[in-house]
Amino acid sequence: MSVRRSERLAQLWLANHPPANSSTVDALNEMYEVAMEAFTAVHRVHTLIKERATFEEKTQTAIASVIQVIWAIEDAHEFKTRQLMGDKGEQVLAGHAAFMEQLRRLTKEAENMATIFSQHVTLSPSLLLTASNLGTDVVKTFYIN
């Protein structure tokens, strides 16, 4: 009879494993909430582009850019989480506020863009260019930092 996965995982961690630092836990919770807000806002832009844009090259570029933003949010969140849980937790906490501000700025921009997009029946090429630029800026910023 095989051991259940949860039992195997429980065996990897000692019962007296030291508790996580409260500042680390607070940072993880805040990062999760802010990242989910950003993800939701950018995903709404993605949905509006798919629903309201005509099929052309600029639409494909905008969709690809927005998908890259979604991936960048997921990658940055996972990377920062691993850093916080690892040996570099204190170093990561020093730059945590800047990262959170970056995600909040992205959320605000994506929400504004979604509001503008929802006011149009069909999205013009200039609006699609705006979405493409949002994706390019954010992806570069997340992967450089």
Residue 38 DSSP SS3:
helix
Q: What is the pLDDT of residues 22-77, one digit of tens each?
A: 778 888 899 999 999 999 999 999 999 999 998 888 899 999 999 999 998 998 88
**Residue-wise pLDDT tens digits, 83-134:** 887 766 677 777 888 889 989 999 999 999 999 999 999 999 989 988 888 8
- Residue span of the structural domain in which 55 resides: 21-144
Q: Is residue 16 part of a domain?
A: no
Q: How far apart are the first and last CA of the chain?
A: 47
Q: At 136, phi and psi to the nearest 5?
A: -65, -45
For residue 119, being part of any structural domain is answered with yes
Q: What is the pTM of this model?
A: 0.78
Mention every residue, 6+ apart, whose C-beta is less than 8 A from residue 111.
41, 44
Whether 5 maps to a domain, the answer reads no
How many distinct structural domains can be found in the chain?
A: 1
Is 9 part of any domain? no
Of 64, 74, 67, whose CA–CA distance to 35 is shortest? 74
Q: How many CA atoms lie within 13 A of 58 on its CB side?
A: 13
**Residue 14 forms part of a structural domain:** no
